[in-house]
Chain A
Amino acid sequence: MAITSTKNLKEFSTANDRFEGAHLLCPGCAHSMIVRELMNCTDDNLVIATNTGCLEVSTAVYPYTSWDTSWIHIGFENAATAAAGAEAMYKARKRKGTLKNPDAPVKFVAFGGDGSTYDIGFQWLSGAVERGHDFTYICLDNENYANTGGQRSSSTPIGANTTTAPAGRVSYGKKENKKDMMAIMAANGAHYVAQVAPNKWKNMAQAFQKALATEGPCYINAISACTTEWKFDSKDTIHVSDLATDSLVFPLYEIIDGHELNITYRPKNVIPVRDYLAAQGRFRHLFKPENEHVIEEWQKRVDANWERLQRREEARV
């Protein structure tokens, strides 16, 4: 794989962008930070499949495309399978000698939001990973169906206010915990699994490069702070992402071959979960006295999860 140097930002900034402006994502959207970085961290040709969602409806609205690489969107649920089909065709044509650029390096990538990854496209993703296609699936996890106006998904965390799990006089919002896609994908047979966040650009670029260089299916869960539905100012996307990683609500770690867990970022100063929640309108109601218990329980859960991750890292199993 032709790797763009991510030694430092100055080196990295010599990459020539392959994700173009005048897409229609919201100002301050983290999706495009993540996508840009993926495309900038390699010089290889990319075949990118994308599920229906914010990214898709904002980057390929006829007669414009923001993609400088091959790109396909079929439906809400099947980007993993579109990438798998393309990869299968690549193998067949490579063997038969019918490719126009037989020696050009190529990587297959699929993007989906959390709605299409955790919910409607779960089966398609699981199948493609199980079959061992050589591709990297990247979930742009903004914890809700943002494209349709902020409905709950199985990635939405407990206590969040969404239009279909609304907080109200007698409800604190969503009652269920976020699904653990990292564990599921590791158990599903993904060769490399990582959770990344755009504020930690180098950590993210390294995970992308590892995934692209790994033969077989890889899964990246990319935290994508959503200015519109998490309800914070568009300028604060990186700030909110910092709070997410430094409160350990979104710990950054990788799982290699389903068992070797490595924590890839340890915050110097761990901040309280409360500070992360306070920065977003979707959790405002949790600060009422009757809902404070949700915040306390959340902190306990985060502490326990961090403990679990560290012990798994030590155990090397």
Chain B
Amino acid sequence: MALKYELQEVEVWDGNYAASHALRQAQVDVVAAYPITPSTPVVENYGQFVADGYVDGEFVMVESEHAAMSGCVGAAASGGRVATATSSQGFALMVEVLYQASGMRLPIVLNLVNRALASPLNVRGDHSDMYLGRDAGWIMLDSFNAQETYDLNLCAFRIGEHRDVRLPVMVNQDGFITSHTAQNVRPLSDEDAYKFVGVYEPIDELLDFAKPVTYGAQTEEDWHFEHKARQHKALIDSRPVIENIFVEFEKLTGRKYNRVESYMMEDAEVAIVALGSTVESARVVAKYLRDNEGIKAGIVAPRVIRPFPFDAIRTALENCKAIGAMDRSAPGGALGMLFNEVSAAVYTTSSRPIVTNYIYGLGGRDLTLEQIKDIYRELKKNADAGEITTKIQQFVGLRGPKLEFFETRRG
């Protein structure tokens, strides 16, 4: 039996510690993990909770991230609650097994503490690792601060383990800015948190000897397509389940989450679409611009990156005129992911707002409030002109000659 951990009404936690406490409160059975900056403290803290008797689980410190996710898959198929954490290169090493976890419909929770991908090697935050995982068939949640990291971890277990979902879930947070910045966090009591997450319900477990089960069968051209289609349907259909769990969480805590978060969008003319801690910076700037320059600025932020909120993002954006899609990942010879996906969504509205793409913050480069102001001002110019007045893709906060690509043909 795990010991009760006495918590204050308000704790001062960083994102990593907040995630560890959520794992402890969910009484995770197995954590198989491998250390990597900046996610390491998530599993270190879990290990300490095990050592101190605050959680009755198995802490398996393996020899690589690939093995970490492999151990998680073996454990999850054995009918218990499983979680881990990683970042960047470690996540890249895990990728093979991410697809296997989702294909086998195993509700593992992975804390992905976002960090740039080498080369060049870099330990700071950007969203390259998050983007790498976006086709892996996982539900992907994004937190913008430590409180949200805690809350979304508790929700992640509920969502992934739901009978109609049974899919693995990633909880993203920004490396260092969220993971290592101590903030006020209001945790639930251990009892309330566990009551919310609930008792794990095993399905098709390797340890039920009355019902031997084969996991990981081969499927070729006569079966593979059907299996992947069913998996995709489960992912798309998880949307209402996620919404219901968010509603339940709000009843318990007063903190409301949505598949797409909108700030100051009621009358917004221009909007930034962003992920992670940038959302919080943009909120400060939008408020400033509304008060001082009369720009009706707003922010739209996908809380749920997968299943991509095609429907909700369209609703959030269809009444504004110009959108800046902010991608914090090297786009690798294309427009950024948010640009592409947001553009596709708003293209199916009758208003078809103008969308431009800003690449920023790679390798932990700060995005200043001044830079965000400039972006909003450009969007305002686009809105007023009714066309894109800049290049479609621009790099922001980069030294050297201005780097920008592609012109509109819409004007």
A and B in contact, CB less than 8 Å = yes
Give Cα A84–Cα B63 distance, bound, in whole angstroms: 12
Task: Report if B29 contacts A (CB, 8 A).
Answer: yes
Give a binary string over A44-63; 1 marks a CB under 8 Å from any B CB, 0 the rest. 01010100000011001111
Closest B residue by C-beta to A99: B207
Give Cα A262–Cα B57 distance, bound, in whole angstroms: 39
Which residues of chain B have C-beta atoms less than 8 A from A96's C-beta?
Answer: 29, 56
Task: Report if B214 contacts A (CB, 8 A).
Answer: yes
Give Cα A123–Cα B214 distance, bound, in whole angstroms: 25
Give Cα A190–Cα B217 distance, bound, in whole angstroms: 29
Q: When the two chains form their complex, are residues B58 and A73 in contact, meaning their CB atoms are under 8 A apart?
A: no
Q: A61-B218, A82-B73 are in contact. Are A127 and B63 (CB under 8 A)?
A: yes
Task: Report if B67 contacts A (CB, 8 A).
Answer: yes
Task: Report if A12 contacts B (CB, 8 A).
Answer: no
Choose among A47, A56, A124 the residue that contacts B63 (Cβ–Cβ < 8 A): A124
Give Cα A72–Cα B29 distance, bound, in whole angstroms: 19
Task: Report if A14 contacts B (CB, 8 A).
Answer: no
Q: When the two chains form their complex, are residues B70 and A75 in contact, meaning their CB atoms are under 8 A apart?
A: yes
Q: A47-B207, A70-B213 are in contact. Are A85 and B72 (CB under 8 A)?
A: yes
Give Cα A123–Cα B77 distance, bound, in whole angstroms: 22
Chain A contact patch, size range: 35 or more
Give Cα A83–Cα B209 distance, bound, in whole angstroms: 16
Choose among B100, B207, B223 the residue that contacts A70 (Cβ–Cβ < 8 A): B207
Majority secondary structure of chain A interface residues (helix, strand, loop or mixed): mixed
Which residues of chain A have C-beta atoms less than 8 A from B75's C-beta?
Answer: 85-86, 88-89
Q: When the two chains form their complex, are residues B206 and A47 in contact, meaning their CB atoms are under 8 A apart?
A: yes
Closest A residue by C-beta to B96: A75
Task: Report if B292 contacts A (CB, 8 A).
Answer: no
Separation in Å of the A268 CB from the closest CB of chain B? Answer: 42
Q: Count contacts between A and B, CB distance < 8 Å.
A: 170
Give Cα A75–Cα B100 distance, bound, in whole angstroms: 8
Task: Report if A71 contacts B (CB, 8 A).
Answer: yes
Within 8 A of A (CB), among B55-95: 56-58, 60-64, 66-67, 70-80, 82
Q: A62-B223, A71-B215 are in contact. Are A85 and B80 (CB under 8 A)?
A: no
Separation in Å of the A68 CB from the closest CB of chain B? Answer: 6
Give Cα A90–Cα B76 distance, bound, in whole angstroms: 11
Give Cα A65–Cα B212 distance, bound, in whole angstroms: 11
Q: When the two chains form their complex, are residues B60 and A70 in contact, meaning their CB atoms are under 8 A apart?
A: no
Q: When the two chains form their complex, are residues B56 and A92 in contact, meaning their CB atoms are under 8 A apart?
A: yes
Separation in Å of the A205 CB from the closest CB of chain B? Answer: 22
Task: Report if A317 contacts B (CB, 8 A).
Answer: no
Q: A75-B100, A127-B63 are in contact. Are A85 and B78 (CB under 8 A)?
A: yes
Task: Report if A91 contacts B (CB, 8 A).
Answer: yes
Q: A63-B223, A82-B74, A100-B207 are in contact. Are A89 and B67 (CB under 8 A)?
A: no
Choose among B57, B63, B210, B223 the residue that contacts A101 (Cβ–Cβ < 8 A): B210
Separation in Å of the B363 CB from the closest CB of chain A? Answer: 29
Q: A62-B217, A127-B63, A131-B62 are in contact. Are A85 and B74 (CB under 8 A)?
A: yes
Task: Report if B240 contacts A (CB, 8 A).
Answer: no
Within 8 A of A (CB), among B157-208: 200, 202, 205-208
Q: When the two chains form their complex, are residues B63 and A86 in contact, meaning their CB atoms are under 8 A apart?
A: no
Q: When the two chains form their complex, are residues A89 and B207 in contact, meaning their CB atoms are under 8 A apart?
A: yes
Q: When the two chains form their complex, are residues A81 and B71 in contact, meaning their CB atoms are under 8 A apart?
A: yes
Q: When the two chains form their complex, are residues A86 and B217 in contact, meaning their CB atoms are under 8 A apart?
A: no
Separation in Å of the B83 CB from the closest CB of chain A? Answer: 12
Q: When the two chains form their complex, are residues A83 and B74 in contact, meaning their CB atoms are under 8 A apart?
A: yes
Choose among B30, B97, B209, B210 the residue that contacts A78 (Cβ–Cβ < 8 A): B97
Q: When the two chains form their complex, are residues A67 and B214 in contact, meaning their CB atoms are under 8 A apart?
A: yes
Apart from the given pairs A70-B214, A127-B63, 16 other A-B contacts in the complex at a CB distance below 8 Å: A62-B218, A70-B207, A70-B213, A77-B66, A78-B66, A78-B97, A81-B62, A84-B74, A85-B76, A88-B75, A89-B75, A89-B79, A90-B207, A92-B58, A93-B207, A100-B209
Chain A residues within CB distance 8 Å of chain B: 45, 47, 49, 56-57, 60-63, 65, 67-75, 77-78, 81-86, 88-93, 95-96, 98-101, 104, 106, 123-124, 126-127, 130-131
The 6 closest A-B pairs by CB, nearest first: A85-B74, A127-B63, A73-B216, A82-B74, A78-B70, A89-B78
What are 21 pairs between A and B in contact, CB < 8 Å? A47-B207, A56-B216, A56-B218, A62-B217, A63-B217, A65-B217, A68-B212, A70-B207, A72-B216, A73-B217, A75-B97, A81-B67, A81-B70, A81-B74, A85-B72, A85-B78, A86-B207, A93-B78, A100-B208, A100-B209, A124-B66
